Amino acid sequence: MMAATHDRIAPPSRLLLLAEARAVWEAGAAVALWPLLQFTPRGDGHPVLVLPGLVASDISTKLLRHFLQSRGYEPHGWGLGRNLGPRKGIENGMLQKLESLHAESGRKVSLIGWSLGGVYARLLASSRPELVRSVITLGSPFTGSARATHAWRVYEGVSGQSSEDPRRMKHVRPTPRVPTTSVFSRSDGVVAWQCSVEETGPQSENIEVVASHLGLGAHPAVFYALADRLSQPEGAWKPFDRGVLGPLVFPDPARAE
């Protein structure tokens, strides 16, 4: 599948935007299914840096990080407060965090970014690929027009910058030179799903789930996918196997629109 590159993608419908309220149910489902999620693959203890979405903080990724810790990883929040866009000091702060985790552990760091956090993750991997083990984005708009989302006005308001940012996006749009997974949902009510479609290749893939945008970081199917992707031995990446859980849990991302 080729990544969406046209700039005339419409934002999600208002109906899908209203349906974002289901995120509460999705988080509840993850808690209810927690005992079953403990049968997902365990990791090797490498560090994982989790980057929050727009206007969110590390509180929003607490459940996700708790799950990763239960699977044997060393998860870390970004520690930079609310994500109000790439304001002064933010990019340097993320880079310093990545370098610090790598230096302290002596190991490459996996990056998980939710929405705008995924844009940051790709930017970090572009800047320092030698420090990054893998990149996993959740509903992140890394291609298409910035205005194919319902968040661009909020972004411009809190960051004081234009949502159209070709200087940064020229580093974000190309597939990172590390194993890369984009998790997206066609029922995303905030970001047009076409803007989250990665070009598949030897080390890149898409995983589709049925979820809201606000629920992607606390969804049981996403937790399963994260555990599966992160557990792969370094240097032995293979595409995600939808197995018996698809197509209801993991629809075919390459199917026709």
Strands 132-138 and 74-77: unpaired
| Residue 245's pLDDT band (cuts 50, 70, 90) | confident
**Mean of the pLDDT values across residues 144-148?**
91
- In this structure, is residue 6 part of a structural domain? no
Residue 250 located in a structural domain: no
Q: Is the pLDDT of residue 126 over 50?
A: yes
Q: Please give the pLDDT value at position 5.
A: 43
Q: What is the pLDDT of residue 2?
A: 34
257 has pLDDT over 70: no
DSSP 18-83: HGGGGHHHHHHHHHHTHHHHTTSPP----EEEEE--TT--GGGGHHHHHHHHHTT-EEEE--SSS-
Task: Match 């749009």 to its residue by tokens.
Answer: 173
In this predicted structure, the answer to whether residue 234 has a pLDDT above a threshold of 90 is yes
What band does 21 get if pLDDT is binned at 50, 70 and 90? very high
User: Do the beta carbons of residue 150 and residue 174 sit within 8 Å?
Assistant: no
The pLDDT of residue 139: 98
- Write the Ramachandran bin of 200: left for phi over 0, alpha for psi from -120 to 50, otherwise beta: beta
Residue 3: pLDDT over 50: no
Residue 245 lies in a domain: no
Distance CA(68)–CA(75), nearest Å, equals 6
Domain region containing 193: 14-228
Contact 121, 135 (CB under 8 A): yes
Say how many C-beta atoms besides its own lie within 10 A of residue 168's C-beta: 16
pTM tops 0.75: yes
Identify any residues that bridge with 74 across adjacent strands, giving them in sequence order.
47
- Does the residue 234 lie in any domain? no
Q: Is 142 exposed, middle or buried (0-12, 13-18, 19+ CB in 10 A)?
A: buried
Is the predicted pLDDT of residue 242 greater than 80, yes or no? Answer: yes
Tokens 């044997």 label which residue? 72
Q: pLDDT tens digits for 168-222?
A: 999 999 999 999 999 999 999 999 999 999 999 999 999 999 999 999 999 999 9
Q: Please check whether residue 142 is in contact with residue 173, taking contact to mean a CB–CB distance below 8 angstroms.
A: yes
Please tell me the predicted confidence (pLDDT) of residue 153.
Answer: 95
Reply yes or no on whether the pLDDT at 1 is more than 50: no
Q: What is the mean pLDDT of the chain?
A: 94
Domain presence at residue 239: no
pLDDT confidence bin for 243, thresholds 50/70/90? confident
Residue 113, pLDDT > 60, answer yes
178 is a domain residue: yes
We report the CATH number of the domain holding residue 130 as 3.40.50.1820
**What's the DSSP call for residue 194?**
G
Please give the radius of gyration of the chain, using alpha carbons only, rounded to the nearest integer.
17
191 phi, psi to nearest 5 deg: -110, 130
pLDDT band at 256 (very low <50, low <70, confident <90, very high): low
Whether 257 is covered by a domain: the verdict is: no
Helix (H) or strand (E) holding 169: helix 166-172
- Total domains present in the chain: 1
Percent of residues, the chain, with pLDDT higher than 90: 92
pLDDT tier at 6, thresholds 50, 70, 90: very low
